[in-house]
A and B are shown apart, each in its own frame.
Chain A
Amino acid sequence: MSNFFEKSDLSRKEAESIISDTLQNCDDGELYLENSKSESILLDDNKIKNSSYNSDLGFGFRAISDEVVAYSHSNEISKNSLKQSSENLKSTLKSVKGTYNHEIPKSNKKYYDNINPIEQKSLNEKIKILNDVNDYLRSKGDKVKQVTANFLGEQKSIEIIRSGGETLSDVRPLVRFNVSVMVEKDGRKETGVYGVGGRQSYDSYLKDENWKSVCDEALRIASVNLESKPAPAGEMKVVLGPGWPAILIHEAVGHGLEGDFNRKKTSAFYNLMGQKVASEGVTIIDDGTIDKRRGSLTIDDEGTPTEKTVLIENGILKNFMQDRLNARLMKTRSTGSGRRENYRHIVLPRMRNTMMLSGKQTQEEMIKAVDKGIFAVSFGGGQVDITSGKFVFNCTEAYEIVNGKIGSPIKGATLIGDGPSILKEVSMVGNDMMMDPGIGTCGKAGQGVPVGVAQPSILINKMTVGGTKL
């Protein structure tokens, strides 16, 4: 736990009184304090290229009146600085006549331990693993031309002080371990990337030389791509593998179901509540409560405990994801989805772990059902235009399907689809739901936050594949 006032000329009592004074006629708001420590250790090109440590401290002060948000942040926790922020907020919200909403739900549940993963493993041990990764992969043959591996670790302590002095706090560990390998054969180069992570110690992921399986997976993807042919271009059937390909769900429907876009009516989904937006058998939830997952949170960045929110149930749109501001304006409750990258940013409704639940079919049945199409196993990133509903994601491992059989690997291609209609094209839902390995970061309005995804294998009847082969 951080004591934010320990080395400051500002006492907790004085801070509370400035907060209550500033927010007295506002509808909502809080002081958000954050202390984060993070490290990055990178091996690249046979060397430890970078070892860096970051310590970040600051506050963000927010006042809300009706729809208007006033925000001010600084990294100086001092009397002067907080007073200046207060003046700033007051000058934006000149004549406010709201009633502060003191209500905030409580929960005793915690989804991760209060640990600092950076301190749990010495620098020398981390360097040794990175060097072992390099040696291990380079021992796999001459075709391995480049190896990059890194550790990213973080501990973020936050405290939220609301008007009247109510205080909520959380300590969040987060780690990630990544391996990228480039292989070359006959002048052709391809890369493969794989990683693992979540909200626990590095050792939980790497014990018993588990890092070898991360290396093997990265090398497998790179090697498959060496044999890849140009991808086809045009509309066809697509089978998605389980796990990480669920970034399709994240892009295609996740963003469009965030409260802010629907309150502003700029999402393609804003008028579809209660309507059928997906095939029967498709259920999608956004869950912040899965133990130690990358997208999980004990409380969100407004202090609301997270929950399991049903977004689409058996094809019907049930809920949007809400922070306090959008929930109040849409006359509903916060789903514990209010998140921010750090104290420099305002809160927005965001995803946590977005998952499509298992159905009954097998992946084999899906492949058999395709005459001509592709089988997509692994992905890079994705993006969506929430207004038109169009979304893309990039395959990093995919195969052609010909007459019900998996054929040759195909080169990386972008797949494009339409969010509100794509889930109606899902004709089979697999029985093999899998979580992603814990590496996702979602970007929105310039803010990156850690998220998770999960899905079973699915068959989509029609999607446009952006290859080069006509």
Chain B
Amino acid sequence: MVKDQDFLEKKASYCLGLAKKLGATDSSVIVDNSVSETVNFRNKKLDESNRSDDLGISITTYIGKKKSSISSSNLLSDNLNILIEKCVETTKNTPEDEFNSLPDQDLLAKEVKDLDLYDDTHIENDQKIDYLKKLELAASNDKKIVNTESSFTQRKTNFVLANSEGFCSGYKTSSFTASSVTVAKDEKSMERDYEYSSKCFLKDLDDADELGNAAAIQTIRKLSPKKIGSEKIPIIFDKRIAKGILSTFASAISSSAISRGTSFLKDKVSQKIFSDKINVFDKPDMLKGLGSRNFDIEGVKTDTLKLVDQGILKHYLIDTYNGKKLNLKSNGRCGGTSNLYFENGNISFKDLLNLNSKSLYITETIGHGSNIVTGDYSVGATGFFVENGEFKYPINEITIAGNFKDIFQNITLANDLEFKYATNSPTILIEGMVVAGK
């Protein structure tokens, strides 16, 4: 089972003590342990079982304004002694940086709320197998499905974060994840798609049947795709990829990109960057939230932020180092966002499909085509041609392109937000993007 708090705290305090003895003026340490067990199925048979037990430690030492860090998976005292000594030596030889420091004492989290992030339930591999059997039976029901792969993972983690200012805290989290990937085939084509469910609590996980069915339906409808011509056409992003727009937004407002001057959203606080009605929240204290946390990876407390209010950018995502550089206080976002989401729009999914007589509904994008320096965006895409609110036929081998500055100003949100991932979006309609096809 996952190591308890006491074990992790002892390791952490040993490291802090040793770092101090060797000459560090400040230090911080994270000790974490995660144990996960996975079973994979393929074509209704057991394919793989995988158990992992990972213990890790990472230490940052400061000597005045000098800083260096080490990490290791070997927690034997002999090894820690050598590494911490090396870390302190390296720190001495690293140039000063005036912005290096532990977080301000008054910003550290004082209380740890129970956010319902840990389910003690243990699901044996045999039970995972039962779930996957059911899932694969549902997934392979249609004879167009020629291959099914599915997976069930139970993961339990525990960690302690401690620093030389006296902060010492941590807590357990759990996740249960099931996924189904199916391949469908007809005379003209072969296509793959998936469905996925991940929850903190086992009892909240989607039904095996539903998951398998959804994967199969989503795959079969992609068969015999067409390639369309190049044109400017309204684009609708399915929820599972719409969240990608928020992820790009989050990278562009991270204090490191802002302080380095490498973001298209630099100096945009208090300016209107989205369409009028758009609100974006980052809410860390959501019960059972997949991105929930009590403090960031520096120990700084995290409050809910309304990042965008009626289209206006209100905050950057600030950590200690870049905060000091920008003369701003950390808002507990070292390591990124927590539960990030667009607030629901006020039109239904169905009405969104009907807003234009013709549009493209995109279910998957491929490639790494987001440039946060310029805001330029260009990715490969697959999806469906939509006419008068109806899915007409699948499309593939096209690209969609635009610039986020324009994309953000031209989005309409449906009212179908769900909390399925850590970052979530309702279905999005974007006007003005260019599709390249034939």
B166 interface residue, CB < 8 Å from A?
Answer: no
Contact in complex: B401, A234 (CB < 8 Å): no
Residues A84-129 near B (CB distance < 8 A): 85, 88-89, 91-92, 123-124, 127
Contact in complex: A54, B71 (CB < 8 Å): yes
Contact in complex: A71, B49 (CB < 8 Å): yes
C-alpha spacing A52/B68, complex, angstroms:
6
23 A/B residue pairs, CB under 8 Å, sorted by A: A45-B260, A53-B68, A71-B49, A81-B53, A146-B262, A182-B373, A189-B373, A231-B401, A233-B230, A268-B190, A380-B368, A385-B192, A388-B192, A390-B396, A412-B371, A412-B378, A416-B380, A416-B399, A418-B397, A465-B399, A468-B378, A470-B230, A470-B232
* Nearest CB of chain B from residue A391's CB, rounded to whole Å: 8
With most chain A CB atoms within 10 A of its CB, the pick from B68, B86, B382 is B68
Chain A 336-355, CB within 8 Å of chain B: the 1/0 string? 00000000101000000000
Contact in complex: B146, A265 (CB < 8 Å): yes
C-alpha spacing A56/B48, complex, angstroms:
25
A220 interface residue, CB < 8 Å from B?
Answer: no
- Contacts A52-B69, A58-B73; is A92 near B49 (CB within 8 Å)? yes
Chain A contact patch, size range:
35 or more
Chain B 79-111, CB within 8 Å of chain A: the 1/0 string? 100010011001001110100000000000000
**A-side contacts of B382, CB under 8 Å:** 385, 388, 390
Residues A363-418 near B (CB distance < 8 A): 380-385, 387-388, 390-394, 411-418
C-alpha spacing A183/B422, complex, angstroms:
34
C-alpha spacing A56/B73, complex, angstroms:
5
* Nearest CB of chain A from residue B70's CB, rounded to whole Å: 5
C-alpha spacing A31/B354, complex, angstroms:
58
Contact in complex: A470, B231 (CB < 8 Å): yes
A359 interface residue, CB < 8 Å from B?
Answer: no
A48 interface residue, CB < 8 Å from B?
Answer: yes
Contact of B434 among A264, A418, A464, A468 (CB under 8 A): A468
Contact in complex: B192, A414 (CB < 8 Å): no
C-alpha spacing A467/B232, complex, angstroms:
11
B72 interface residue, CB < 8 Å from A?
Answer: yes
**B-side contacts of A44, CB under 8 Å:** 260
C-alpha spacing A459/B398, complex, angstroms:
21
**B-side contacts of A191, CB under 8 Å:** 262, 373
Contact of A417 among B74, B397, B435 (CB under 8 A): B397
**Which of B39-47, B157-165, B339-347 has 4 or more CB atoms under 8 Å from chain A?**
B39-47
Contact of B97 among A48, A235, A265 (CB under 8 A): A48
C-alpha spacing A418/B260, complex, angstroms:
38
Chain A residue nearest to B99 in the complex (CB): A47
Contact in complex: A390, B366 (CB < 8 Å): yes
B183 interface residue, CB < 8 Å from A?
Answer: yes
- B residues adjacent to A (C-beta < 8 A): 42, 45-56, 67-74, 76, 78-79, 83, 86-87, 90, 93-95, 97, 125, 146-147, 149, 183, 189-192, 225, 230-232, 259-262, 364, 366-369, 371, 373-374, 376, 378-380, 382, 396-403, 434-438
Contact in complex: B50, A71 (CB < 8 Å): yes
C-alpha spacing A71/B49, complex, angstroms:
6
Contact in complex: B397, A387 (CB < 8 Å): no
Additional 7 contacts, C-beta under 8 A, given A392-B379, A394-B367, A418-B397: A53-B70, A188-B374, A265-B146, A385-B366, A394-B378, A466-B436, A470-B434
Per DSSP, chain A at the interface is strand
C-alpha spacing A417/B396, complex, angstroms:
10
**B-side contacts of A85, CB under 8 Å:** 51
Residues A35-54 near B (CB distance < 8 A): 44-45, 47-54
Contact in complex: B48, A73 (CB < 8 Å): no
**B-side contacts of A69, CB under 8 Å:** 47-49
Per DSSP, chain B at the interface is strand
- Contacts A73-B53, A465-B436, A468-B434; is A390 near B190 (CB within 8 Å)? no
C-alpha spacing A344/B94, complex, angstroms:
32
Contact in complex: A392, B259 (CB < 8 Å): no
**B-side contacts of A73, CB under 8 Å:** 51-53
C-alpha spacing A145/B259, complex, angstroms:
12
- Contacts A72-B51, A76-B55, A344-B54; is A51 near B192 (CB within 8 Å)? no
With most chain B CB atoms within 10 A of its CB, the pick from A88, A264, A266, A268 is A266
Contact in complex: A145, B261 (CB < 8 Å): yes
Contact in complex: B74, A466 (CB < 8 Å): no
* Nearest CB of chain B from residue A187's CB, rounded to whole Å: 11
**A-side contacts of B437, CB under 8 Å:** 234-235, 464
With most chain A CB atoms within 10 A of its CB, the pick from B51, B259, B382, B435 is B51
Contact in complex: B434, A467 (CB < 8 Å): yes
A55 interface residue, CB < 8 Å from B?
Answer: yes
Contact of B147 among A50, A51, A57, A265 (CB under 8 A): A265
Q: With contacts defined as CB atoms under 8 Å apart, how many contacts are there between chain A and chain B in the complex?
A: 240
**B-side contacts of A235, CB under 8 Å:** 230, 437-438
- Contacts A45-B259, A47-B95, A56-B72; is A388 near B83 (CB within 8 Å)? no
Contact of B46 among A68, A412, A414, A468 (CB under 8 A): A68
**B-side contacts of A233, CB under 8 Å:** 230, 399, 401, 434-436
Contact in complex: A88, B262 (CB < 8 Å): no
Chain A 256-293, CB within 8 Å of chain B: the 1/0 string? 00000000111010000000000000000000000000
**B-side contacts of A385, CB under 8 Å:** 192, 364, 366, 382
Chain B residue nearest to A415 in the complex (CB): B399
Chain A residue nearest to B68 in the complex (CB): A51
Chain B residue nearest to A191 in the complex (CB): B373
* Nearest CB of chain A from residue B215's CB, rounded to whole Å: 13
Contact in complex: A468, B401 (CB < 8 Å): yes
**A-side contacts of B191, CB under 8 Å:** 387-388
* Nearest CB of chain B from residue A101's CB, rounded to whole Å: 19
A70 interface residue, CB < 8 Å from B?
Answer: yes
**A-side contacts of B146, CB under 8 Å:** 265
A313 interface residue, CB < 8 Å from B?
Answer: no
* Nearest CB of chain A from residue B44's CB, rounded to whole Å: 12
Contact in complex: A383, B366 (CB < 8 Å): yes
Contact in complex: B367, A392 (CB < 8 Å): yes
- Contacts A47-B95, A53-B86; is A234 near B190 (CB within 8 Å)? no
A74 interface residue, CB < 8 Å from B?
Answer: yes
A75 interface residue, CB < 8 Å from B?
Answer: yes
* Nearest CB of chain B from residue A277's CB, rounded to whole Å: 16
C-alpha spacing A111/B51, complex, angstroms:
33
Contact in complex: B190, A387 (CB < 8 Å): yes
- Contacts A70-B49, A394-B367; is A55 near B260 (CB within 8 Å)? no
**A-side contacts of B190, CB under 8 Å:** 266, 268, 387-388
- For the complex of A and B, 4 pairs with smallest distance between CB atoms: A466-B399, A233-B436, A392-B380, A392-B367
* Nearest CB of chain B from residue A375's CB, rounded to whole Å: 17
C-alpha spacing A381/B368, complex, angstroms:
6
Chain B residue nearest to A344 in the complex (CB): B52
**B-side contacts of A92, CB under 8 Å:** 46, 49, 125
A207 interface residue, CB < 8 Å from B?
Answer: no
C-alpha spacing A145/B90, complex, angstroms:
29
A331 interface residue, CB < 8 Å from B?
Answer: no
C-alpha spacing A419/B74, complex, angstroms:
43
**B-side contacts of A190, CB under 8 Å:** 373-374
Chain B residue nearest to A148 in the complex (CB): B260
A140 interface residue, CB < 8 Å from B?
Answer: no
A7 interface residue, CB < 8 Å from B?
Answer: yes
C-alpha spacing A124/B68, complex, angstroms:
14
**A-side contacts of B183, CB under 8 Å:** 266, 387
Contact of B71 among A45, A52, A127 (CB under 8 A): A52
- Contacts A53-B83, A55-B72, A67-B47; is A414 near B434 (CB within 8 Å)? no
**B-side contacts of A88, CB under 8 Å:** 49, 51
Chain B residue nearest to A390 in the complex (CB): B397
**A-side contacts of B45, CB under 8 Å:** 67-68
Chain A residue nearest to B87 in the complex (CB): A53
Contact of A55 among B70, B149, B259, B380 (CB under 8 A): B70
Chain A residue nearest to B89 in the complex (CB): A123
Contact in complex: A234, B230 (CB < 8 Å): yes
Chain A 306-326, CB within 8 Å of chain B: the 1/0 string? 000000000000000000000
